[in-house]
Amino acid sequence: MTAWIPTRTAALDRLRAFLPEAGRAYAARRNHDLPGHPHVSRLSPWLRHRLLTEAEVAQAVIARHGMAAADKFLQELCWRTYWKGWLELRPGIWADYRRGVAQALDRVAAEAGLRRDWEAACRGETGIDGFDHWARELAATGWLHNHARMWFASIWIFTLRLPWELGADFFLRHLLDGDPASNTLSWRWVAGLHTPGKTYLARPANIAEYTGGRFRPEGLAPDAPPLPMRPHPAPRAAPEGGRPAPGPWALLVTEEDLSPGFVLAAAGDPVATAFWRAVPGRSPLAVSPAVAAWTEAAMADAAARHAPRLGPITDAGAGAEALSRLADWALGLGVAQVVTPWAPVGPAAEGLDRLERALAPAGIRLVRMLRDWDAAAWPHATHGFFRFRAEIPRLLAPLAA
């Protein structure tokens, strides 16, 4: 089993180990969920927190295999970017999901049968072959193969008939790579809420084939009728990000981007730096201690790597209650601006919104800087992935030069 050590060094080691398999071998075997997960990159926890960036991974893979041979892996890498961009253009979908989780938890509190079935699914005690294994694997390791995530979500929704929001919440509480956009929108896609009329049905024969015969579930739903959906909201304009003004500034780092070198390259060195974690905001329920510990250690690694340029470093802590400490920290520094890498729609962005409101009366700007990768890609996440896919060669062209 992969050891997802929360350091950039470990991320680079994993990338080097995967590179020989990132071309046609990945395309041929990526759907196989086998012990140890030998046929996929297993880079997602580091990518999700940008201890390793999408551009770095794409550039290394293209250099090794070329764009044609690595096309399938590069597409999978860009799905993460597409999901982030799609939700960034439609933040109301995240707000709807939050409301759905709250409503489903109200039902859990009021309906004994639903509570029993939900708890059994989370513990991996449904009696469904494969599903129970994946529930326990997720809780134990913080990770699942992508194909297993799809099977799990389909069984949760169409066989167990549990609210999809509770399944997405279960994932977000336990996944080391738990990402608001990828997680929410993938569950919506399985349920038929992303592409109208399109659902994903977990089939016993498919599970048996791609798990090497380890699992042969019985009694799965024979069909997957789409859940009722409202039309998607029209996409808003893609964000452009801010630029720091001349003068002293402070750096704020969240778990959304632990490679703030691009900010330092644009703005120079800050007078001080704070680190703040939004992990508790993933769910109304308790987030896995393993997720909290991994994220805290990853941030400590980022602080250590960049320490010579960060000035005095403050660990502001985690969660909404730490935001007041951040506001006091900025006020005490006497700076006119706090600069932070852009946090996509999700708990970190919600926290930054609150911080921005707290700083405004003191005349302190919160400047959110957007990476070139996101700025180039997100405006094209207006429709389905296949339209976005047409832009991938242009997005990757500078990396292949």
Each residue's pLDDT tens digit, 224-278: 999 998 899 999 999 999 999 999 999 999 999 999 999 999 999 999 999 999 9
Asked if residue 244 is part of any domain, the answer here is: no
Asked if residue 75 is part of any domain, the answer here is: yes
The CATH number of the domain where 66 resides is what? 1.25.40
d(CA 57, CA 26): 14
Based on the fold, state whether residues 205 and 290 are members of the same structural domain. Answer: no
Domains contained in the chain, number = 3
Based on the fold, state whether residues 361 and 325 are members of the same structural domain. Answer: yes
Question: Based on the number of CB atoms within 10 Å of its own CB, is 227 exposed (0-12), middle (13-18) or buried (19 or more)?
Answer: middle
Instruction: Provide the residue count of the chain.
Output: 401
> CB-based contacts of 290: which residues, under 8 Å, 6+ apart?
142, 174, 176
Residue 326 and residue 274 in contact, taking contact as beta carbons nearer than 8 Å: yes
Query: Which of 49, 39, 59 minimizes the C-alpha distance to 7?
Result: 49
Based on the fold, state whether residues 84 and 109 are members of the same structural domain. Answer: no
Based on the fold, state whether residues 268 and 311 are members of the same structural domain. Answer: yes
Asked if residue 225 is part of any domain, the answer here is: no
Residue 32 and residue 39 in contact, taking contact as beta carbons nearer than 8 Å: yes
Each residue's pLDDT tens digit, 356-397: 999 999 999 999 999 999 999 999 999 999 999 999 999 999
d(CA 131, CA 156): 9
Mean pLDDT across the chain, nearest whole number?
Answer: 96
Judged by phi (left if over 0) then psi (alpha if -120 to 50, else beta), residue 127 lies in: left
Based on the fold, state whether residues 29 and 130 are members of the same structural domain. Answer: no
The CATH number of the domain where 283 resides is what? 3.40.50.620
Based on the fold, state whether residues 293 and 323 are members of the same structural domain. Answer: yes
Each residue's pLDDT tens digit, 109-163: 999 999 999 999 999 999 999 999 999 999 999 999 999 999 999 999 999 999 9
d(CA 382, CA 88): 10
Based on the fold, state whether residues 255 and 205 are members of the same structural domain. Answer: no
pLDDT band at 327 (very low <50, low <70, confident <90, very high): very high
Residue 29 burial (CB count, 10 A): 14
Based on the fold, state whether residues 292 and 344 are members of the same structural domain. Answer: yes
Asked if residue 215 is part of any domain, the answer here is: no
Asked if residue 281 is part of any domain, the answer here is: yes
Based on the fold, state whether residues 189 and 268 are members of the same structural domain. Answer: no
Based on the fold, state whether residues 356 and 384 are members of the same structural domain. Answer: no
The CATH number of the domain where 180 resides is what? 1.10.579.10
Based on the fold, state whether residues 132 and 69 are members of the same structural domain. Answer: no
Question: Based on the number of CB atoms within 10 Å of its own CB, is 368 exposed (0-12), middle (13-18) or buried (19 or more)?
Answer: middle
Global pTM exceeds 0.95: yes
Q: Which domain holds residue 164?
A: 101-210
Based on the fold, state whether residues 327 and 383 are members of the same structural domain. Answer: no
